[in-house]
Copies of this chain bind each other. A is one copy, B any other.
């Protein structure tokens, strides 16, 4: 099974592409025009041109093979449009138009009929009632929301609006995605199939799912069990509380189900459970790093407080603070100032320069009692010192030691540390802004290492 036509189509038609900036079809076509890996054709029943591009009255009029169709026409035209797509030989449909299964039983019936038509022609359908699909690698934005930042997370959201909100939020926060799928009502393609497809891609380092309710829970868990042996799957499940579950079921029309049952099943399938949106993103971001062989964490910092909060956070998630070897402690003592704390967390104090970050990171990574390193930097107190030199010190150490232990950064200084964060991330080291987020990242690495058999549960 391949869904390449959803993410790397050779040619896409936007049916309902519009010149009217107040219509969704305007935004979708505007976004898709930037697509680099294939052709994009607007389909519009009235206008001869859409946004300066020659338009077609019907998808069937396009003088080219079309493998993907994005449909944003009013609901009453959807059925015929799907038939036209079938006759054209389209392979995949992204149906953005709403008003189907989420409205009631009648809409659900119509939705099923659309799927039957699609199946008849051998087409697969994402949606209806969705925001669309992005593949940032090829600048494909087949949605009506802004471009996501490029990165390595494949994110599938059952709530279009929440998914869009997360795109906007992460653009601001500098968190990147490889793919984004607003899965809508899941009339045809569901989480399981996308998971299976994403398991074998190179650019997607982690699969993050926002789930309100599953249609076929058993199948999901079976697929997840296979996929998590290859790649991490992180789930944020809405409707954990009774009132939330009631609200979720009225929202998506799918049964939210009891959280206890879900939780047990997720755990059994190797799925990592996130508590919040930020938790989910923090976990998914960690996988540009290798998997740890154990769960003993070393923390280095230039300020005590953040070190303590991070120690608390990793403890809460069942990770351990590494007991450093006496030799490591001795060597740290030899160059760090007397006020420094040389036990884990290693507090190099405010005077620490890039050189101290380098030497300390090197010693900690070389210590056989350490499985993973968290490097913390708050605002450097002294003028002339920048968080960037700290980031560079860590990178130098990682390159020299090069022994496959994961390293995560925590830079807690808002704008001041943005450059340093970028430096770390350009080197594949995820850099967080909050102790609980970096701890979530470390936790996810450990959980995935367990699911993939790299780390044995003691």
Contact = CB atoms under 8 A, between A and B. Distances in A.
Interface of A: 21-24, 26-27, 99, 102-103, 144-145, 157-162, 164-166, 168-173, 210, 212, 238-244, 246-248, 250-252, 275-278, 302-309, 311-312, 315-316, 320-321, 338-339, 341, 343, 345, 347, 350, 378-379, 381-384, 412-417, 433-436
Given A102-B339, A413-B165, A241 B315 contact: yes
Given A276-B436, A303-B161, A435-B277, A168 B414 contact: yes
Given A171-B414, A436-B276, A165 B379 contact: yes
Contacts of A23: 383
B161 A244 contact: no
Nearest to A163: B305
A304 B159 contact: yes
B341 A416 contact: no
Contact of A244 (B24, B243, B302, B315): B315
A324 B158 CA distance: 27
How many subunits of this chain does the assembly comprise? 2
Contact of A161 (B239, B339, B341, B381): B381
A309 B341 contact: no
Contacts of A434: 276-278
Contacts of A239: 308, 312
Closest 9 CB pairs of A and B: A159-B305, A251-B304, A161-B303, A241-B315, A162-B305, A172-B414, A244-B312, A168-B414, A165-B412
A251 B276 CA distance: 31
B243 A307 contact: no
